[in-house]
């Protein structure tokens, strides 16, 4: 049996509505402004919710050759682009690696559903002959990790999970376990989502899960605020390079953070509503802390799922209190979806990247649009409106939460790199 190895984050790639690559994502956080706008991708007039967080300037040819870019749908393009950025940021050159010891784990709630939707009119007009031959290879969620593997020659462990809004966190956590257990030395891990298409958007709008603050889109996503009325859909991707620590140190890599714990549970309660007592969300946090041998008192910051829905934010607050007791009021909590919306399966990966950057740079991003805290969300949620606008801090450990439809609860624990062997 191989002893557990230490696992660190040495590279970050991201394509998000607030910025691209590690530096762009960080600058977007520092700007403390929302990317949510009225939808421009299609006519949103028929829908209750008409706002989203779109990526304004993604050009796939900047990251892929023209032939490859044409073959991939948007969600796979975002995945491969983020993976390439992460490798470059880490200084990992795939051609110099043992490809059998290098893998990819990704998460995506909806995969290539948007490209499938776009093919429906062609099928109705022209029958099977009207369909693009690439549809069969683009629509499945596994295209994210498989296209990364093909692009960069990753022959090691490979999977894409589709566990709704917790997918990205689960992907990072499972990749962490792969490296920790000695099954690979380098893993590309994260999430990608491109859900902004009319059919998918209508489905979420019809279940009344999304905000209808259409006249004030930049103020619509407001985690923990008394006036929150639903999440705001977004798109994006983030990929991390997870690496066995001793080899990262040996090659002189910059280390953003160490990943130490991960766990996930299920409410077994309802497809859309969280379990009211928050018991399984709390259990996921406890198990992740135990996995990393981290005590609740060591955690100084939680990047909350903070979806800005009426039920989620109060339930998450209650779950945090169950885990941390009195310490819950001494740690900092923030929800960062107010910046970039809710990119479903990619959100957890984006937030893992944010946690790693926060540890590395010593600054905790605020909860923008938090103007009037809900009495049921009474923790230190670091308002970005009329408050500090962020906080300089170097916590001993941070926790990233992701909760999703189907009752899935996932948590990831990171520490700053200790600098010892």
Catalytic residue list: 165, 305, 342
Residue with structure tokens 């709630």?
Answer: 109
Do 340 and 311 form a contact (C-beta atoms < 8 A)?
A: no
**Beta bridge partner(s), residue 103:** 187
Q: What is the 3-state secondary structure (H, E, C) of the chain?
A: CCCCCCEEEEEEEEEECCEEHHHHHHHHHHHCCCCEEECCCCCCCCCCCCEEECCCCCCHHHCCCHHHHHHCCHHHHHHHHHHHHHHHHHCCCHHHCCHHHEEEEEECCCCCHHHHHHHHHHHHHHHHHHCCCCHHHHCCCCHHHHHHHHHHCCCCCEEEECCHHHHHHHHHHHHHHHHHCCCCCEEEEEEEECCCCHHHHHHHHHCCCECCCCCCHHHCCCCCECCCCCECEECEEEEEEEEEHHHHHHCCCCCCEEEEEEEEEECCCCCCCCCCCCHHHHHHHHHHHHHCCCCHHHEEEEECCCCCCHHHHHHHHHHHHHHHHHHHHCCEEECCHHHHCECHHHHHHHHHHHHHHHHHHCEECCECCCCCECCCCCCECCECCCCCCCEECCCCEEEEEEEECCCEEEEEEEECCCCCC
Do 167 and 345 form a contact (C-beta atoms < 8 A)?
A: yes
- Residues 6 or more apart in contact with residue 166 via CB below 8 angstroms: 107, 264, 345, 348, 402, 403, 404, 408, 409, 410
Q: Encoding tokens for residue 110? A: 């909806």
Query: What distances in angstroms separate CA 249 from CA 8, 187, 246, 397, one per listed residue?
Result: 10, 16, 5, 21
């Amino acid at each position: 049996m191989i002893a557990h190895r230490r696992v660190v984050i040495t590279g970050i790639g991201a394509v998000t509505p607030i910025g691209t690559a590690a530096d762009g994502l960080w600058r977007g956080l520092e700007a403390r402004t929302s990317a949510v706008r009225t939808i421009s991708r299609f006519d949103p007039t028929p829908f209750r919710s008409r706002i989203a967080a779109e990526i304004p300037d993604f050009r796939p040819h900047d990251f892929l050759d023209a032939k490859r870019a044409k073959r991939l749908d948007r969600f796979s393009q975002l995945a491969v682009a983020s993976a390439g950025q992460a490798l470059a940021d880490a200084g990992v050159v795939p051609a110099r690696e043992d490809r059998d010891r290098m893998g990819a784990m990704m998460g995506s709630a909806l995969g290539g559903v948007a490209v499938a939707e776009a093919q429906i009119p062609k099928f109705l007009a022209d029958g099977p002959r009207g369909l693009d031959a690439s549809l069969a290879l683009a629509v499945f969620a596994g295209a994210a990790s498989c296209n990364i593997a093909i692009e960069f020659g990753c022959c090691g462990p490979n999977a894409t999970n589709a566990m709704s809004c917790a997918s990205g966190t689960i992907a990072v956590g499972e990749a962490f376990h792969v490296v920790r257990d000695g099954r690979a030395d380098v893993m590309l891990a994260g999430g990608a989502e491109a859900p902004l298409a009319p059919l998918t958007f209508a489905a979420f709008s019809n279940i009344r899960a999304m905000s209808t603050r259409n006249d004030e889109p930049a103020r619509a996503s407001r985690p923990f605020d008394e006036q929150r009325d639903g999440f705001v859909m977004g798109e994006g991707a983030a990929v991390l390079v997870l690496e066995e620590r001793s080899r990262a140190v040996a090659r002189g890599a910059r280390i953003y953070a160490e990943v130490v714990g991960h766990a996930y549970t299920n409410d077994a309660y309802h497809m859309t509503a969280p379990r009211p007592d928050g018991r399984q969300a709390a259990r996921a946090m406890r198990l992740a802390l135990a996995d990393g041998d981290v005590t609740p008192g060591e955690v100084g910051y939680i990047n909350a799922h903070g979806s800005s829905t009426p039920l989620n934010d109060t339930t998450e607050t209650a779950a945090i209190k169950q885990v941390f007791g009195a310490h819950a009021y001494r740690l900092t909590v923030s929800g960062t979806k107010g910046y970039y919306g809710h990119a479903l399966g990619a959100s957890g990966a984006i937030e893992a990247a944010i946690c790693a950057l926060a540890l590395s740079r010593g600054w905790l991003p605020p909860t923008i649009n938090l103007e009037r805290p809900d009495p049921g969300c009474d923790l230190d949620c670091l308002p970005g409106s009329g408050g500090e606008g962020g906080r300089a801090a170097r916590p001993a450990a941070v926790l990233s939460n992701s909760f999703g439809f189907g009752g899935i609860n996932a948590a990831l624990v990171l520490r700053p790199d200790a600098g010892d062997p």
